[in-house]
């Protein structure tokens, strides 16, 4: 009687792999069909700007606002684009700090990239893009 129970447990311990194989084949087909769609994209004429990749550190951020009229505000103070690097350098005091960038959605992409390049030249290692939630 003891041997019979051991045989019953042995039969129950087998795993039915057929459903697992079915699921894996379905996933394989899904990946084969969707993979070519991930490679395609929309062609865009991107602006050219040389700037190395940004790294991150956590400190109190500065707020840099770009209006639709291409006016730049460092905090509440207006700053001309040509003077932005020197003003940021003076404000940062040699310490890398993150900057929150609030840019109007109607600004040309190239203008925003120029400001980002200046931030990188000054030593800003972390830039946060401020947005508003959808529907507001």
Sign of the four-CA dihedral 56, 57, 60, 62: negative
71 with 102: CB under 8 angstroms?
no
Encode pLDDT of 40-98 as tens digits: 444 444 445 554 544 545 567 788 888 888 888 888 888 998 999 899 888 887 777 78
SS3 call for 5: helix
Q: Would the pTM of this model clear 0.75, i.e. be above it?
A: no
CA 60 to chain CA centroid, Å, is: 20
């Amino acid at each position: 009687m003891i041997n019979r129970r051991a045989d019953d447990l042995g039969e129950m311990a087998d795993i039915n792999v057929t459903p697992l194989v079915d699921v894996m084949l379905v996933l394989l087909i899904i990946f084969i069909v969707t993979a070519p769609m991930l490679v395609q994209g929309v062609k865009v004429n991107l602006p050219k700007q040389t700037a190395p990749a940004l790294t991150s550190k956590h400190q109190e951020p500065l707020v840099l606002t770009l209006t639709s009229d291409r006016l730049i505000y460092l905090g509440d103070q207006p700053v001309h684009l040509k003077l932005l690097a020197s003003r940021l350098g003076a404000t940062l005091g040699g310490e890398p700090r993150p900057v929150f960038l609030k840019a109007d959605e109607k600004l040309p992409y190239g203008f925003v990239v120029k400001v980002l390049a200046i931030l990188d030249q000054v030593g800003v290692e972390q830039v946060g893009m401020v947005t508003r939630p959808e529907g507001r």
